[in-house]
Amino acid sequence: MTLSLRRSNEQESDVRTFIREIRQYATIQELDEGILNRLISRILVGEVKKIDGEKFQEIKIIYNFVGEIPAVTE
């Protein structure tokens, strides 16, 4: 099996695992420490920047199994 095919299979497996995990929490009303630890690997918080007098701060959430999920823009 080629390296790229193996990586693709591993990514597919990770995505399937993430989907199984996230389905368990589809109807939660409140996040708690256990849920956060199960779903999220880490949260990266950037420095505060001022642009045109407004403060902005970049926050990235790195999920277990799938990494960062890109933001969807309208």
* Other Cβ atoms within 10 Å of 22 Cβ, number: 14
pLDDT band, residue 73 (cuts 50/70/90): low
Widest CA span of the chain, in angstroms? 55
Residue 10 token pair: 């591993």
In three-state secondary structure terms, 27 is: coil
> Which pLDDT tens digit goes with each residue over 8-37?
778 888 888 888 888 887 788 888 898 888
- Measured CA to CA, the distance from residue 46 to residue 1 in angstroms comes to 40
Residues of the chain with pLDDT > 70: what percent?
95
Give the residue with greater pLDDT, 38 vs 45: 45
Question: Can you give the pTM of this predicted structure?
Answer: 0.61
> In which order are the strands placed within the sheet that holds 40-51?
40-51, 54-63, 67-68
DSSP state, residue 53: T
